[in-house]
Structure 1
Amino acid sequence: MVEALVNPNILAWARERAGFTVSKLAEKLKIKQEQVEAWETGNSKPTFRQAQIFANKTYVPFGYLFLKEPPHEELPIPDLRTIGDRPIGGFSLDLKDTIRSTFERLAWYKDFCREQDLPNLDWVGSVSVDNFELATTTAKRLLGGSIEQRPRQFHDYFKELISKIEVLGALVMRNSVVGNNTHRSLDRDEFRGFAIADDHAPVIFINATDTPQAQLFTLLHEFVHLLINESGVSDLSHRNENRIEKFCNRVAAEFLVPTDEFVKLWNIQHEDWRTNLPQLEQIFHVSQWVIARRALETGFISEQQYWDHYGKILDAFKKEKDKQKDKGSGPPFNRLINMRYSKKFATAVASEALSGRMLLRDAHHLIGVHPSKLKDFAKKELSF
């Protein structure tokens, strides 16, 4: 067997970057721990096949293993998550890879927009972070502010908002894993979403491991990021003191549940505050989670009451997910593509590939649909 002349220091860096201990990586590689240690000290070298597997398991390009120094990894998006008034600091590898792949898709889509002579989006960056009233009225103008005209069911309203935002020119992506790798689940506690502001192809990414109720708020929060032309990774905490995050939270909350109307309708006489939720859910056509968040923000309930309620919603969501896994149910893979990469993006990629203007393997790389199944996917999921 020919040895791969890899850099031992890079092997150690790649393992640590992936968050694996030596023993955990050895388990994944199905080799002895001593062998991994020997590779990292330079006392022995992996074969080319072993090095390829190593790169695959640690999520690095194979060529990285031969570098003299670890590459400098700086992501072009601000971290707006905080604990109190301090940034959390650091992204997990799963989040890093998700951001990188999103920027890769964004780069392709920007070229596509230019080739199609699509105009710049004048609503991106159209308001200032100092103008709450203008941001709220602009969001209502672009997305429809009439509560009475909202679909009565929360899920229908969520879908409608996504559709309207994509019609405006943005890409809305929702995913619970890194790409299509079901073994790499995103962490809801690490981030709720992120926005990439761009006047050709702005992106909203929503962490779909969060409850659907919370995802609606994330969608509006990240949309406000685009309105003020501010990219960033968000945690959406109502306790976040970052100026941009506070502003986006405030506008999103006001758009979904206007304060004046909410305060008038909240009945403080109820012995159990949760008795308000079903009625207000029907009036505002949003989830009970959003109503509970507004109750917290307006001082009608305590932090403890809010988190107890949210915990129950999250538990119910997890149980439902576990049931689906046990039954092997859930949407088919092709249907997930439109959610994970945006229907607008998938349509552009499929049209370019099927017209012969891009290679089928490149389309596969961007949206994960096998070349042999792309035509069928376009017909069934994109209505080609």
Structure 2
Amino acid sequence: MARAEYVPVTGSVLAWARTEAGLTREGLAGRLRVEPAALEAWEQEIEKPTKTQFKQLTQVLKRPSAIFFAPHPPKPGEVTAAFRRGAVTDPDLNNEYQQLRSARHYQHIAEWLLRESGREEHDRLPRASVQSATARHSFAASIRDALGISFAQQCKYTSASVALKAWKNAVEQAFGVLVFQFQFPNAKATRGFSLPSTEAPVVVLNSAFNDQARIFTLFHEVAHLLLDDAKICHGWAPPESATRNERWAEAFAAELLLPRTEFVAKFRSRVTAGSHPTPEQIRSLASTTKVSARAVALRCIELGLAERRLYEEVVEALSGIDYKDSGGGGKGETTPYRRLREVGALFPSLVLRARDDEIIGHYDVLRYLDVSTAQARELESVLQGQG
């Protein structure tokens, strides 16, 4: 009879992974079909799981096997989230933490793969501080230059969907920021959130919002990553009620997407000099620039092109402007295309490259991407076509 092989896991890492998965010791023991006392012995490093039990552990906790051999778990507080809320007041965010756990799960995998590969193929996001308008203008311009999308190109995109895809890819490729799009249980409560990280920063967008709103949220969240700011705060807060960092993030996103010189020229081509813009004119500018009407209104006010009442006029006249029309939502998509829409191109690329470098195996790829073998082949083919 063959002797069982035992795996020397780090107990504190196992306990951390169990807690991160939201499982009690009894809950995880039940999933593994072992006694809670046995699991406690593993966490205290008195005993070790068998090779079969270890494989079950990685599958249940959805962690790369190598993480259980790390000397210690990530430091508490290394990853926090800054939720950006929508128009719903006092939302119950308990359900949103499933999206947070999913994002952290992908982030941990990406961080580990990047460390194991020893590669650093992207520039890291610089750090910013809350600066004067002049300094913010220069900072936004430098980030935009790094992304490689001009204002003229932005206006030429055939749809906001095409523009969103281009901006997401640019952010991932230029700075290694993982951009995810998830469905949130409380669809209109949260616009998005960010997860700071030296190796694999994350931005999560709420797919309930339309593409123009998500484009603005993307750069609002990038701004919070630049500030290394993990505060929970409200999106679209009126300027007088927002925090200093929140105002900076809003202004940075507007400055990057609607640069002063180009935007003023576009505005003056649509609005008669000296007149107050109408909500329909703002909608037209938003459609042209592929940015939300709220953001366009705020930018007009900031640049002195309109009175402060414009914002409320736009919100009142264009009810529901930030949300997608009902229906659609990726119907008819194959799983590989759905996965790319949800987790972007960078994360699957990291996973597939790690397989090619023999850091992980074929079944790790299937588990991390939640696909079958055939779906993995299709996903890889799509990525190669995009490259």
Whether the TM-score (by the shorter chain) exceeds 0.5 is yes
- Retained in 2: the 8 A contact 1:224–1:251? yes
2:175 alignment partner AA:
G
Cα shift readout 1:324-382 (whole Å, capped 9, x = no counterpart): 37xx9343221011121121111221343466542444333322212453223322444
Q: Deviations over 1:29-66 (max 9, x none)?
A: xxxxxxxxxxxxxxxxxxx89xxxxxxxxxxx89xxxx
CA shift for structure 1 position 107? 1.5
1:191 CA drift (Å) = 1.4
Give the TM-score normalised by the residue count of structure 1.
Answer: 0.65
CA distance in 1: counterparts of 2:188 and 2:115, whole angstroms: 37
Q: In the alignment, is the contact (CA less than 8 A) between 2:82 and 2:229 conserved in 1?
A: no
Q: When the two structures are aligned, how many residues end up with a matched partner?
A: 302
In the other structure, the counterpart of 2:12 is: none
Alpha-carbon displacement from aligned partner over 1:254-299 (angstroms, at most 9, x marks no partner): 1112346545635266687134246635764545554344346554
In the alignment, residue 318 of structure 1 is paired with which amino acid? D
Distance 1:75 1:214 in 2: 29
Q: Distance in 1 between matches of 2:136 and 2:277?
A: 33
CA contact (8 A) 1:193 1:222 kept: yes
CA distances 1:194-248 after superposition (whole Å, capped 9, x unpaired): 1122221111111111111100101111122222233455542132512222111
Q: Which residue identity does 2:296 align to in structure 1?
A: I
Gaps of 5+ in 1: 1-16, 18-47, 50-60, 63-72, 178-184
How many angstroms does 1:252 deviate by? 0.5
What amino acid maps onto 1:102 in structure 2?
A
CA contact (8 A) 1:186 1:209 kept: no
Question: TM-score of the superposition, structure 2-length normalised?
Answer: 0.64
Secondary structure of 2:154 counterpart = coil
What secondary structure does 2:190 align onto?
coil
Which residue number corresponds to residue 257 of structure 2?
256
1:152–1:290: structure 2 CA closer, same or farther, 3 Å change rule?
farther
The answer for the alignment partner of 1:135 in structure 2 is 139
1:175–1:206 contact (8 Å) kept in structure 2 = yes
| Matches for 1:118-133 after TM superposition, within 5 Å | 118-119=119-120, 123-130=124-131, 131-133=135-137
For 2:279, the aligned partner's letter is: R
Superposed CA offset, 1:295-327 (max 9, x none): 465544434322234424356x333xx2x37xx
Query: 2:80 corresponds to which residue?
Result: 77
8 Å CA contact 1:127, 1:134 repeated in 2: no
**Does structure 1 conserve the Cα–Cα contact (< 8 Å) formed by 2:182 and 2:204?**
no
**Aligned equivalents of 1:309 and 1:362: distance in 2?**
50
**Aligned to 2:108, what secondary structure does the other structure show?**
helix
Q: Distance in 2 between matches of 1:82 and 1:163?
A: 24
Match of 2:348 in 1: 346
Give the match for residue 325 of structure 2: 318
What is the rounded CA distance, in whole Å, between the counterparts of 2:381 and 2:360 in structure 1? 18
CA distance in 1, matches of 2:295, 2:206: 17
> Which residue does the alignment assign to 1:160?
166
Structure 2 CA distance for aligned equivalents of residues 351 and 83 of structure 1? 37
Secondary structure of the residue aligned to 2:199 is coil
Q: 2:154 aligns with which of 127, 141, 150?
A: 150
Name the SS for the 1:192 alignment partner. Answer: strand
Partner residue, 1:202 = 201
Greater Cα shift, 148-157 or 291-300: 291-300
**Residue identity in the other structure for 1:256:** L
Cα-to-partner distance string for 1:62-98 (whole Å, 9 max, x where unaligned)? 9xxxxxxxxxx989415465899xx9697323x2121
Displacement of 1:187 after TM fit?
Answer: 2.7
2:216 is aligned to 217
Task: State the Cα RMSD in Å.
Answer: 3.9
Distance 1:371 1:195, change over 3 A: same
SS at match of 1:302: helix
Whether the aligned pair in 2 keeps the contact of 1:152 and 1:285 (CA below 8 Å) is no
Q: Which runs of 5+ in 2 are unaligned?
A: 1-21, 23-29, 32-59, 62-75
Letter in 2 for 1:276: Q
Matching residue within 373, 376, 382 for 1:374: 376
Q: Which of 272, 291, 304 in structure 1 is aligned with 2:296?
A: 291
* C-alpha distance after superposition, 1:14-33 (max 9, x if no partner): xxx9xxxxxxxxxxxxxxxx
Rounded Cα–Cα distance in structure 1 between residues aligned with 2:297 and 2:332: 28
